[in-house]
Structure formats: C-alpha cells, structure tokens
Structure 1
Amino acid sequence: MGRSMFGITAALALAIALTAPASAGEKLTMDGSTGMIPLVSELAKAYQRKQPGVEIGLGKGIESIGGIRSTIEGKIDAGLVSRPLKPEEKGAGLKEVEIARVGTVFAAHAENPIAGITEQQACDIYTGKVKNWKEVGGPDLAILPLSRPPQEADPTVIRDKIACFKELREAEGVLVLLKSGDMSNALASRAGTIGMTNTTALGALKGKVKALALGGVAPTQENLGKGTYPLIRRFFIVTKGNPSPTIARFLEFVRSADGAKVVTELNAVPVK
C-alpha cells in the first residue's frame, strides 16, 4: 500500500511540474546532430519567448553520435539525434522522442536552373561518370560533388533507399565535408556544386540553395507527409532515462501547435 501511494504521489508531482510554468533560473543544455541545429535553434527561441526564465544552451553540433555519448556521460541534458536509437543505445538507458521528419535531398546552388535529377543520374555524378551539368539537362557548368562521411545520416539514408548507392565508390574528385554547416556554406557559395543535405538546413539558408526533385518527385512538405518522396530522415531528442520536468516542458512545446508552426516554417513535418 505504501509503495502504491508513493507511486501515485510521484506521478501527481510530475504532472503538476509539467503543467506549472517554468521557473526563473531553469537551464537546458542540448547538442548533437549538426543538421538538427537550425530547427532546434528556432524552437528554442520560440520557447524562450513563452518562457523567458529558461536558459537554453545549444551547442554548435557534435553529430548524432556525439550527442548520444554526451547524454550518456551527463555532459548535456539532451542529445539531438537524426536517426532512431540502436538497441544497445536504448540498453544504456537512453529514451527518444521524435520531434520532426525531414527530407534528405540532393541540393544545388539556387542559380542553377536544373529542377531535378534521377537516382541513376545522382549515382553517375558521384562515381564521376557525369562531370558536367549539361549531361543531365542543366547548364554547361562543371559539377563539383559534395558528400558527407559515410556514417552520417544523409548518406546513410541515400544508401538505404537508392539501390545504385549501396555499393557505390565515390570518385576521387568528390569533396567530403565533415559537418552539415560546411555543406550548407559550400552549396551557397559555389555555383557548380551538388551536395547531400536536408530540407531544414535548406530552410535556414533562405533561398541561397535549392533542393532537387528526385525521379520527378520534389521534397515538398506534402510529399514528405504522404511519404511519396523517398528520402526521409527522422529527428529525435534523447535523454538519459525519462525526461526531467524541464526537458519535458520543452518537448511538450515542441509537439504543440506553436511548436508545429516553427517546424513547418523550416520545411519539416511535425510529429504529433
């Protein structure tokens, strides 16, 4: 009886904590997937406008695995992870909450008139078979292919979903960029580039870079929501054990109507 009463009391205390406004001096630290930083940064700003007493420390990006390790080690309150947790990560006590779905895309400089490519054309570009945009219906301009390390989320999604990428060996001329931010900067600054990125990263670039349709299907929010666009990433916030009241209140906001508005504005699909 004593244990049951304690459990009820603890549950009531947590429920009260979640519905109560955040108190001044609350802190929340997050870091992880570089590709998630633009979205989570805007969510944090919107949340702080409603809860100005909460201090949110958002890192510059240490990739998903860094966010996982730092969360396990207690260096941050929550990790930003752009893939589902693996069984062994859940076994280490991590919990995940999905906050958005985004499209992995092949992107080009906004001034490049090409609208899209096929899966085979993408493979031919990255193997070096195709070297000029005019070979795939674009301008007479040399192609500079940009890639990410193979363990990162965007190339992983591409390998999983596009058959000709599964065993593809990238040509020597492909430039591998370590961080999502480096990819964004390169795509925005060089006219002949093509790169692997995601729809939220493009949203933060405000029209400097455009997503290419793949096989005639554009990565619009409608197509992402219906699942007709083939390359979809899932964004998670992970915690060690159940979220604390501070984190839980932030997650509650993220999945509210106000949070969904922010997610939508950054070219992602909210998760209810």
Structure 2
Amino acid sequence: MQPSCRRWPSPGKPGLFLGTISKNALPFSTNIIYVVERNWSSKLFMSSILQEEIMHRVTRILRPPFYLLLMAFLFCAGMPDALAGDTIRINGSGTCLEMMKPLMKAYGKVSRGVSFNMEKPLGSSGAIKALLDGALDIAVVARPLKPEEIARGGKLKPFGKTPLVIVTEKRTPLKTITTRELEDVYAGRTLKWSNGETIRIILRPNEETDTKILKHLSPGMAEAITKAHQRRGLMIAMTDPESIEAVSRIAGGIGTSTLTHVLVGKLPLKVIDLNGVKPSRKTLKDGAYPLAKEISFVTTDRLPNAASRFLEFVYSKKGRAITEKYGVLITIDGK
C-alpha cells in the first residue's frame, strides 16, 4: 500500500504546513507528523531535523523491502530538489493569461514532468513586480517595461498582438458601431440602444492598457472616456476577467476585451465590428482594424531551465500556430 499524504496550514504559523502519513500505510501504531515550509519558489522542504528523527524511527522497525515505502513518503513530503524546475510560475494581464492556457495544455502533452502555477491575473504591473521580487518565473504583459523595471533586471521579449474589441451583452441589438457613435455612447450623449435598453458602460481604470488604447482611437474618444469616468454610477472593472464577466451578465452592457480572450474563453459576448471592419488577425495586419493590444514576455537572469524550455516552445512554429488560432498576430520583432 502506498503512503497517504495530507497537508494543511499550521495554525498561527504562516508559511508552515503540517502533514501526516496514514497509519494504515506504514507499520506504525500512530501516524507520523511532519512539518514542511513553503519558500518563495513554492517548493516544499522537510525540516532536516525531522527527516533525521523519522529516518531513525523507521529504520528501527522497517525491513529492507519497506524502504520503497519510505522513499515514497519522503518524496510526497517534499525531499529537497525533488520538484526543482518542474513548476513554472506565470502571471500577467488577463488577456495574456488566456493565451497561455492552450499553450500550457499543448506543452503538457510533450513535457509531462512540468506543471504550471498560474493564479488569478495580477495585471501587467503586478506581475512584473512579482517577477522582479522573485515570486514568478515569467510575466506575460501588455505594456513596455518602465526604466526602473529594466534597471532591476527585467527583460522584455515581444511576441505578438491581438485586436482590442468592443463587446456587448449577447442580446444587445448591435452588430457594428462607428467611432462617432462610440464617442456618443461613452460621452453620455446616447443613453439607450435601439431596442430601448439602457446602455450600461463597463469602464476600466484610467491607467489600464485597455483605456489608453481606446483613447487613442480618436481625440473625441479620449474626451468621451474622460467624461465617462466623471459620470456617477458607472462601473469600473479592475481586471480583464471582471470586465468581461460584467459585460456578459448586465443587460445593455458594453465594454472592451480582446479577440484572444473571447476565443479562448468561449465567452457569451457579442464582438462588435468597428466602422464596418471585423476584428481579426488579417484586418489587424493590413491596418484596417485600428485597435491592438500587445503581448510580450518578461523574464530575468534567474529564469529556470524549465521555464526557458517552455518559452522556446511558445516561440516555436507549433507554439505560434496555437496562438494564431486564437487571434494573435505574431510580431516577434515588436513591429
């Protein structure tokens, strides 16, 4: 029988975890309790003192055939370097993380020893900070690095871009919108859709990339967004997932997303043509569609070998083909 290992946070001891091996799995009269500590790289290490004590107790009781069970226990508990380089820690903007999902799935099929740790999106700025602090291996971002981030060791490598799209709630009676009509919506000059439904704008914070991109559509759009932020009662979504979730569930909702996010997430949203142009890789490439969100990778000199090999896959022919399927126009050189 293989050891049954369990872990849970130690009360009042942040970063410490307690665990047991089931007494039914080993020939002991009581469970063995061990303590492990989680470090910044999310690896688990057993106290060397406890390892020595447990080894002493086990070797007094177990015969040689049972050493295999002991090794299984120590591996489950977190022997040093047992998981080294196997877990790749990634975060970034919501759109960028959506692009990573099919890439990670495909890579997992050819590199079964690798796992990924990708929590809720921190945003470009939050992920870069976490990377520079040593809490991440890779940041996937939608903006250039700031001088101070470069000074701290951040290295940016462009990958591609995807159309920033205008999205509405599914039942909204809208297929295309002109720049002037969009200006009127955000400025509050147009308050209802053609079916009488109240227009409900889901804004992003002023400093967010989506807002900056949309403001560059036209001088009138920049002014309209500024006015929208001054109006009372409008919702401001802090992250990409919060924004599209709000648009999809609020009747009459309108906001922004990216083509990649919509395609990967299979979201219940309506993607609106802009000035009669459908957002796509093709229209983005030929310049017909004006709104684009950049996608780049940021690393440091501390990049683990496992993360480096994964990025090689992302930039490979197979990796590029996967992202192109989900609306990413590969640029590589940043142009």
Q: TM-score category by the smaller chain?
A: 0.7 to 0.9
Measure how far apart 1:242 and its partner are: 7.1
The alignment status of 1:143 with 2:199, answered yes or no, reads: yes
Residue 76 of structure 1 aligns with an amino acid whose one-letter code is L
Measure how far apart 1:24 and its partner are: 8.6
Measure how far apart 1:254 and its partner are: 1.0
- Between the aligned partners of 1:259 and 1:228, the Cα distance in structure 2 is 26
Stretch of structure 1 that moved more, 187-196 or 239-248: 239-248
Change (3 A) 1:113 1:221: farther
- Between the aligned partners of 2:232 and 2:84, the Cα distance in structure 1 is 54
- Between the aligned partners of 1:177 and 1:101, the Cα distance in structure 2 is 22
- Between the aligned partners of 1:245 and 1:98, the Cα distance in structure 2 is 20
The alignment status of 1:262 with 2:322, answered yes or no, reads: yes
Number of equivalences = 246
| Residues 173 and 193 in structure 2, CA contact (< 8 A), matched pair in contact too | no
- Between the aligned partners of 1:125 and 1:231, the Cα distance in structure 2 is 18
Instruction: Find the residue that maps to 2:251 and give its secondary structure.
Output: coil
**Which residue number corresponds to residue 6 of structure 1?**
none
Measure how far apart 1:84 and its partner are: 1.8
| Residues 202 and 210 in structure 1, CA contact (< 8 A), matched pair in contact too | no
| Residues 255 and 270 in structure 1, CA contact (< 8 A), matched pair in contact too | no
| Residues 244 and 256 in structure 2, CA contact (< 8 A), matched pair in contact too | no
Instruction: Find the residue that maps to 2:173 and give its secondary structure.
Output: coil
| Residues 184 and 205 in structure 1, CA contact (< 8 A), matched pair in contact too | no
TM-score using structure 2 length:
0.69
- Between the aligned partners of 2:303 and 2:160, the Cα distance in structure 1 is 18
- Between the aligned partners of 2:247 and 2:190, the Cα distance in structure 1 is 19
Superposition RMSD on alpha carbons, in Å? 2.0
- Between the aligned partners of 1:204 and 1:162, the Cα distance in structure 2 is 29
- Between the aligned partners of 2:302 and 2:164, the Cα distance in structure 1 is 29
**Which residue number corresponds to residue 164 of structure 1?**
220
Deviation track 1:15-42 (CA, whole Å, cap 9, x = no partner) reads xxxxxxxx99522101121222211122
| Residues 79 and 239 in structure 1, CA contact (< 8 A), matched pair in contact too | yes
| Residues 85 and 304 in structure 2, CA contact (< 8 A), matched pair in contact too | no
The alignment status of 1:192 with 2:259, answered yes or no, reads: no
Change (3 A) 1:113 1:268: farther
> Following TM superposition, where does structure 1 have runs of at least 4 consecutive aligned residues deviating by more than 6 angstroms?
none
**Which residue number corresponds to residue 53 of structure 2?**
none
**Which residue number corresponds to residue 67 of structure 1?**
127
Change (3 A) 1:237 1:268: same
In structure 1, list runs of 5 or more residues that go unmatched. 1-22
Higher relative contact order by CA 8 Å / sep ≥ 6: 1 or 2?
1
Trace 1:44-63 onto structure 2 (pairs within 5 A): 44-63=104-123
TM-score using structure 1 length:
0.83
Instruction: Find the residue that maps to 1:194 and give its secondary structure.
Output: strand
Measure how far apart 1:95 and its partner are: 0.6
Trace 1:187-266 onto structure 2 (pairs within 5 A): 187-206=247-266, 208-241=268-301, 243-266=303-326
Identity %: 28
